[in-house]
């Protein structure tokens, strides 16, 4: 099952996206977070028979427009850790984003005029579907509603001003999330191809099997710190090939198109626009 939040003339709506039928059916909830707040959300979404919309031309809002938490993991792909000249971590490297950073799957990415070092990072996202604290492996797996795609657009010079990442990670309207959530039963076992393309050129190409800490590992670790709630977003990290590590570096620029994909999960396609234009 695929679930999304779309924009309509009367506000955002949660929908079940039926690709085979080419339709998106409203569930009666304002967005995916509101849907996941229902204890019966899988059955409710599967049985939804509200107004429908053609899949072609859907205006995707951020999958979860206002999550309680956006928790991000850095240095979590073996190839990316090595390209950044670091050792494999013993524990997840954590930082956060705030909701104003999020945009939809096909929205423009706003390039702040405070920097010329704005980078792309393709990421698999874990979406939480039930409250969980101090999770066992079984509880962690059961708490995962599904997966989505995020581009962790990073303002590198701001990120590197201090040892804390956050200030370079949460510039407004910089972070595409979506287009939909895919429930785990729709995905094959093992790793999934993950990539980014900048103006048609492949920049990143890896597999989620390269994650140092996988989805269940992260839910266990994070739920030890804080209760994870429905709609919480965990961005699991990016593979090698980021622009900042290239020689010379390759950054996002006005008018560039960045495409972020996770096989079987979804695709983001975003044009970059300078803040001053």
pLDDT digits (tens, 9 = 90+) for 74-95: 989 988 888 778 888 899 999 9
pLDDT at residue 277, as a whole number: 57
Domains of the chain: 1-59 (no CATH), 61-274 (3.90.850.10)
Burial category of 119 from C-beta neighbours within 10 Å (exposed 0-12, middle 13-18, buried 19 and up) = buried
* CB-facing half-sphere around the CA of 18: CA atoms within 13 A: 16
**What local confidence, expressed as pLDDT, does residue 276 receive?**
80
Q: Are 213 and 80 in contact (CB under 8 A)?
A: no
Query: Distance between CA 9 and CA 144 in Å, rounded?
Result: 31
For residue 85, the model assigns a pLDDT of 80
Cis omega before residue 67 (within 30°)? no
Task: Give residue 78's pLDDT.
Answer: 87
Whole-number pLDDT of residue 131: 98
Write out the chain's pLDDT in tens, 277 residues: 999 999 999 999 999 999 999 999 999 999 999 999 999 999 999 999 999 999 999 999 999 999 999 999 998 998 888 877 888 889 999 999 999 999 999 999 999 999 999 999 999 999 999 999 999 999 999 999 999 999 999 999 999 999 999 999 999 999 999 999 999 999 998 899 999 999 999 999 999 999 999 999 999 999 999 999 999 999 999 999 999 999 999 999 999 999 999 999 999 999 999 998 5
pLDDT digit string (tens) for 96-148?
A: 999 999 999 999 999 999 999 999 999 999 999 999 999 999 999 999 999 99
């Amino acid at each position: 099952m695929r679930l999304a939040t779309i924009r309509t003339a009367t506000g955002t709506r949660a929908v079940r996206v039926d690709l085979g039928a080419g339709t998106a059916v409203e569930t009666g909830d304002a967005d995916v977070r509101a849907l996941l707040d229902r204890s019966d959300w899988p059955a409710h979404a599967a049985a939804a028979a509200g107004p429908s919309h053609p899949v072609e031309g859907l205006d995707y809002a951020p999958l979860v427009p206002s999550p309680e938490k956006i928790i991000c993991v850095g240095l979590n792909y073996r190839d990316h850790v090595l390209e950044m000249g670091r050792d494999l971590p013993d524990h997840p490297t954590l930082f956060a984003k705030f909701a104003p950073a999020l945009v939809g799957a096909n929205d423009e990415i706003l390039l702040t005029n405070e920097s010329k070092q704005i980078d792309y990072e393709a990421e698999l996202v874990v979406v939480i579907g039930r409250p969980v604290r101090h999770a066992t492996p079984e509880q962690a797996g059961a708490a995962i509603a599904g997966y989505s795609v995020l581009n962790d657009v990073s303002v590198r010079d701001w990120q590197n001003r201090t040892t804390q990442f956050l200030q370079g990670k949460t510039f407004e309207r910089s972070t595409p999330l979506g287009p939909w959530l895919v429930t785990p039963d729709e995905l094959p076992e093992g790793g999934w191809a993950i990539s980014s393309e900048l103006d048609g050129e492949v920049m990143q190409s890896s597999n989620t099997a390269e994650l140092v800490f996988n989805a269940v590992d992260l839910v266990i670790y994070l739920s030890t710190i804080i209760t994870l709630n429905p709609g919480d977003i965990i961005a699991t990290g990016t593979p090698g090939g980021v622009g900042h590590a290239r020689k010379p570096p390759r950054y996002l620029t006005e008018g560039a198109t960045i495409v972020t994909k996770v096989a079987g999960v979804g695709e983001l396609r975003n044009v970059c626009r300078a803040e001053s234009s």
